[in-house]
Amino acid sequence: MILSALILSQGSGPVLATGPFLHFPYVQIGRPTQVATELTLMWQAPIEPGKWEVTYQSSQGVRHNLAEFNQVDTTSPGFLNFRTELTSLTPGKPFKYEVWKNGNKVFESTAKAPVKSDQKWRLVSFGDCGRGTKEQAMISYQASKVNGDAVLLTGDIVYDLGRVSEYETKFWNYYNGSATSPERGSQMMRSVPFIPVLGNHDMASNDLTKYPDGLAYFYFYQVPLNGPKLASNSPLTPNARGAGLSNFLAAAGENYPQTANYSFDYGNAHFVVLDSNPNVNWTTPELIEWLKKDLSEADPKKWRIVTYHHPEFQSSKVHATDRWMRVLSDLYVKYKVDLVLNGHVHNYQRSKPIELSFKPFLSTALNANDWTVDKAFNGTTVTSTEGVIRIVTGGGGAPLYNPELEPTPDKWLPFTEKYHVRHSFSQLDFDGDKLKFTQIDLEGKTLDSFLLMRKPKN
């Protein structure tokens, strides 16, 4: 049930404090599938009476919102989950906002409004991050320094099980803590939206009888609800039943299971976020039809980026057989997808542009490694391609995989172009039909970069 905070009078002066919050306020892309002039502001607070209000700078002057909230009782302690929509923002501009409780200003920050389709913008992306390591803090710090407009998390957001209690120690303090430093991480989340992808660890607490605070993914993010409506999407185990299940369903509300798959436009790009966990069978006709419809109806003037956790083209030995998403490869070529972003494998890998050469639904195709690639593309003087480049950006903080392969390209699979075993993040600079991609390590050094031109659509 959604409740509204009561109107409050702003009597006393500003008092900045951390006390009222469990987690500081942070912005999200919210429900619109065209992310343009609004964001959603969220935060979590202890279950106690209070009057909450938000003021912010819109394009039409200062606005006052009442915060909505619902109560999450499945965790110990439970919490109030607050949200409010910040509308009529000036595209691409920073704006100030304040959160007030019981007449006291308890938080203030600046956030970045989403860009318009004719504006340049920067996406930051990394996955496999919430592990509580010093490298996680360093990546968060370095990523904050490049001043992106949004952050895409390519799954395995919080280890090991994606529980609310694990977010407490391995997530909030790294991306929305009390300081910005290589040791402490950053405060990015209060200023730019973090966009989630469901990884295998994020759903590993799907036995809600065993883990009452499981599946935190479905509490903490506000994204569009336009994904396929299929019961087979559910990550829940049969043992998730009883009061724990009913409490979870009530607290997650519309988010469950809809936000495992969704799509949206941001700036000049269309993004499709897929749940690649093995409980979802992407040969299911309803799922394929949803994806086809989404891609075919995407604005032909925008980039098409598909993202999910499990990479189907990568050279590490760890997770080498987790390549079931190959079943969708022909659709990416057919619908002129420009780039695929994955995580799961804890390093950085860039594939050559992979072309369609045969029906990927054949089991022989799924297991082969001799897919044809566009050999002309070099990312500097030749920047257009018909094939689709896959990026593994899984160096967000968790321990790295297979470093012994880095100096031996002859042992990489034939479609792999770059392979770096360093903690790192991706920076994507969109400028009209041109994209500059840069992979940056935990000390701010460039590991890889290339230019890519948007494919002509239709």
Which listed range, 148-156, 266-274, 294-302, 330-338, lies at the site for Fe ion (CB under 5 A)? 148-156
**Alpha carbon 107 to chain centroid, angstroms:** 25
Task: Dig out the tokens for 366 from the structure.
Answer: 């799924």
Beta carbon nearer to Fe ion, 318 or 368? 318
441 near Fe ion, rule: CB under 5 A: no
Beta carbon nearer to Fe ion, 199 or 353? 199
Give the x/- contact pattern for Fe ion in 189-208, rule: CB under 5 A. Answer: ----------xx--------
CB-nearest residue to Fe ion:
344
Beta carbon nearer to Fe ion, 104 or 307? 307
Shortest CB 227 distance to Fe ion, Å: 20
Shortest CB 161 distance to Fe ion, Å: 12
Which listed range, 33-41, 98-106, 338-346, 395-403, lies at the site for Fe ion (CB under 5 A)? 338-346
38 near Fe ion, rule: CB under 5 A: no
344 near Fe ion, rule: CB under 5 A: yes
Tell whether the torsion through CA atoms of 339, 344, 348 and 351 is positive or negative: negative
Closest CA to 299 of 274, 328, 268, 329: 268
Beta carbon nearer to Fe ion, 201 or 454? 201
Task: Dig out the tokens for 341 from the structure.
Answer: 């972003």
Shortest CB 234 distance to Fe ion, Å: 19
Q: For residues 118 and 101, give the distance between their C-alpha atoms in angstroms, rounded to a whole number.
A: 38
Shortest CB 174 distance to Fe ion, Å: 18
β-pairing, 34-35 vs 262-266, is: parallel
Give the x/- contact pattern for Fe ion in 296-335, rule: CB under 5 A. Answer: ----------------------------------------
Which listed range, 54-62, 153-161, 222-230, 418-426, lies at the site for Fe ion (CB under 5 A)? 153-161
Q: For residues 370 and 124, give the distance between their C-alpha atoms in angstroms, rounded to a whole number.
A: 31
The torsion region of residue 291 among left (phi > 0), alpha (psi -120 to 50) and beta comes to: alpha
- Whether 342 and 308 have beta carbons less than 8 Å apart is answered as yes
User: How many other CB atoms are found less than 10 A from the CB of residue 50?
Assistant: 18
Q: For residues 246 and 240, give the distance between their C-alpha atoms in angstroms, rounded to a whole number.
A: 9
β-pairing, 94-101 vs 104-112, is: antiparallel
Shortest CB 348 distance to Fe ion, Å: 15
Residues 50-69 that bind Fe ion (CB under 5 A): none
Residues in the chain: 458
Q: For residues 91 and 38, give the distance between their C-alpha atoms in angstroms, rounded to a whole number.
A: 9
DSSP string, 215-246: -THHHH------S---GGG----TT--HHHHH
393 near Fe ion, rule: CB under 5 A: no
Q: For residues 350 and 269, give the distance between their C-alpha atoms in angstroms, rounded to a whole number.
A: 20
Total residues at the site for Fe ion (CB under 5 A)? 4
Tell whether the torsion through CA atoms of 283, 287, 293 and 295 is positive or negative: negative
Beta carbon nearer to Fe ion, 199 or 397? 199
Residue reference for tokens 């369609």: 356
Residues 203-232 that bind Fe ion (CB under 5 A): none
- Whether 395 and 153 have beta carbons less than 8 Å apart is answered as no
Beta carbon nearer to Fe ion, 200 or 426? 200
Shortest CB 49 distance to Fe ion, Å: 41
Shortest CB 396 distance to Fe ion, Å: 11
Beta carbon nearer to Fe ion, 160 or 168? 160
* Identity of the residue numbered 274: L
156 near Fe ion, rule: CB under 5 A: yes
Beta carbon nearer to Fe ion, 95 or 282? 282
Which listed range, 50-58, 149-157, 210-218, 417-425, lies at the site for Fe ion (CB under 5 A)? 149-157
Shortest CB 162 distance to Fe ion, Å: 11
Shortest CB 117 distance to Fe ion, Å: 33
Task: Dig out the tokens for 103 from the structure.
Answer: 């007449």
* Chain positions contacting Fe ion, by CB under 5 A: 156, 199-200, 344
